[in-house]
Amino acid sequence: MSELRVVTADLHVHTCLSPCADLDMTPQKIVAQAQRLKLGMIAITDHNSAENVGAVIKAAAATDLVVIPGLEITTAEETHILGLFGSLASALAMQELVYEHLTLGDNDEELFGLQVVANELDEVEGMCSRLLIGATDLSVDLVVDAIRELGGIAVASHIDRESYSLISQLGFIPPNLKLAAVDISRQLTLREARARFVEYQDYAFLSTSDAHDLSQLGSNPVQLLMAGEDFDELVLALAGRDGRRVIENGD
Ligand SMILES: [Zn+2]
Ligand SMILES: [Zn+2]
């Protein structure tokens, strides 16, 4: 078996494409900050879009930082689901489905903020005109199924938060939902989350920053025991298979 090592990751990061994120969340700045913090892996998860993922991957190309392509999808129930993928193409295929089901119109920049599409040099390529902060008309089940059909994994966002989480919107996590993990926000440690969500012990708990600005990036990292920094290893770690796992409470 290949040697296992500890990888520090932040798997829920917004860029300047998310209207609510800081304009400093550009590909170059995100990669530089992640390197400064010695993160081995980040996932880019903008609201309902993956348009900046490719630029962050390119910005990280000359570094040892691994960028996992993703999106944070708003379901019809107004819950947030992270879709993480093994390739940019899969994330963009998910984006295509999401765009077909984002039916509420265009972004209002003054009300919600700019949605900057950037390139790997931090140059502005344009603005995304869709209402990314809006909800799709896709149910949670459909979103999770679509992510999985594209080879991705679904993670329930910030289950401890009082808005846009499965628990805040539905009152519970549907037991049939094929989630790879549940995301715990900066408000709780994994130990506190384990104590609070006793009925969900079987899930992998994933601490993330949900960073919307550079100071938040990496502020609530997860440590993963893996044989390398790639998507397949991440899937194994969240499933707790072949010795891979999420390290909780420093054990
Ligand atoms: Zn969210
Ligand atoms: Zn988020």
Q: ∠130-84-233 over CA atoms, to 5°?
A: 160
CB 85 within 8 A of CB 152: yes
Distance 21 CA to ligand 2 centre (A): 9
pLDDT number for residue 116: 96
Domain ranges of the chain: 5-247
Distance 193 CA to ligand 1 centre (A): 17
CB 227 within 8 A of CB 6: no
Residues in the chain where the model's pLDDT stays below 50: none
Distance 1 CA to ligand 1 centre (A): 37
pLDDT number for residue 1: 57
Closest by CA to 29, choosing from 108, 116, 90, 127, is: 116
pLDDT number for residue 2: 76
Distance 18 CA to ligand 2 centre (A): 9
User: Position 169: which residue type?
Assistant: Q
pLDDT number for residue 126: 96
Distance 2 CA to ligand 2 centre (A): 33
pLDDT number for residue 104: 83
DSSP 200: G
Whole-number Å distance between alpha carbons of 108 and 113: 7
Distance 183 CA to ligand 1 centre (A): 10
pLDDT number for residue 105: 86
Task: Specify the CATH architecture of the domain 5-247.
Answer: Alpha-Beta Barrel (3.20)
Give the closest ligand to the alpha carbon of residue 164. 1
Distance 17 CA to ligand 1 centre (A): 14
pLDDT number for residue 103: 81
pLDDT number for residue 17: 97
Q: What is the pTM of this model?
A: 0.97
What region, left, alpha or beta, does residue 195 occupy, with left being phi > 0 and alpha being psi -120 to 50 degrees? alpha
Distance 175 CA to ligand 2 centre (A): 23
pLDDT number for residue 201: 95
